[in-house]
C-alpha cells in the first residue's frame, strides 16, 4: 500500500469517526431539549387538574397530594437535567440518572391519577394530558440509554 493510500484512509477515518460520534451526541442533545420542553409544560398542564371537583374530602386531599408529589418529581428531574447539562463530559450513568427521574414522574402519574373517574372525568383528561406529555420522552430516554450502554467499550 502506498503512502498516498494510507494518507487517504487516515483522512477518511479522521472525518468519519467524529461524524459517527456526533450522531449519538446530537440524538442526546435533541432528547434533552425535548425533555426540557416536557418539564416546562408541566405547570400549564397541572393547572388543568381541579382537585376541588373530586367527590369527598379524602379524594380531594388525595388528588392534591398526587399533584404536589408530581410537582416535586418534576423539580427533581429539572435539577438532574440541569446538572447533566453542566457536565463537561457526561457519562452513561449521568444519562441514566436523568432517565430514572423521568421514570419516577411516570410512576407518579400512575399513582396520582388513580382508577378511572376516581377524581372526575375532567381530572382524568387532565392527568392523561400530563401522561402524554411525558410518555414519549421517557420512552425515548429508554432507547437512548440502552444504545449508550451497548456502545460502551468494556475495559
- C-beta of residue 67 within 8 angstroms of C-beta of residue 51: yes
Domain boundaries, the chain: 22-151
Which class is domain 22-151?
A: mainly alpha
Which residue shows C-alpha cell 399513582?
111
What's the distance, Cα to Cα, between the start and end of the chain in Å?
Answer: 32
Residue 106 makes CB contacts below 8 A (sequence gap 6+) with 131, 134, 135, 138
pLDDT tens for the 155 residues of the chain, in order: 444 443 434 444 444 433 334 447 888 999 999 999 999 999 999 999 999 888 889 888 989 999 999 999 999 999 999 999 999 999 889 999 999 999 999 998 888 877 767 788 888 889 999 999 999 999 999 889 888 888 876 55
pTM comes to 0.77
State the Cα–Cα distance between residues 51 and 93, nearest whole angstrom: 37
Amino acid at each position: 500500500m502506498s503512502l498516498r493510500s494510507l494518507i487517504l484512509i487516515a483522512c477518511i477515518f479522521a472525518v468519519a469517526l467524529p461524524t459517527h460520534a456526533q450522531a449519538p451526541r446530537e440524538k442526546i442533545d435533541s432528547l434533552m431539549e425535548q425533555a426540557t420542553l416536557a418539564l416546562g409544560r408541566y405547570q400549564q398542564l397541572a393547572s388543568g387538574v381541579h382537585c376541588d371537583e373530586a367527590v369527598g374530602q379524602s379524594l380531594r386531599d388525595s388528588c392534591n397530594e398526587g399533584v404536589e408529589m408530581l410537582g416535586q418529581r418534576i423539580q427533581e428531574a429539572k435539577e438532574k437535567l440541569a446538572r447533566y447539562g453542566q457536565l463537561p463530559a457526561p457519562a452513561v450513568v449521568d444519562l441514566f440518572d436523568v432517565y430514572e427521574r423521568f421514570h419516577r414522574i411516570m410512576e407518579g402519574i400512575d399513582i396520582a391519577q388513580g382508577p378511572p373517574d376516581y377524581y372526575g372525568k375532567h381530572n382524568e383528561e387532565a392527568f392523561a394530558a400530563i401522561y402524554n406529555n411525558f410518555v414519549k420522552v421517557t420512552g425515548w430516554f429508554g432507547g437512548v440509554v440502552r444504545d449508550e450502554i451497548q456502545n460502551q467499550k468494556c475495559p
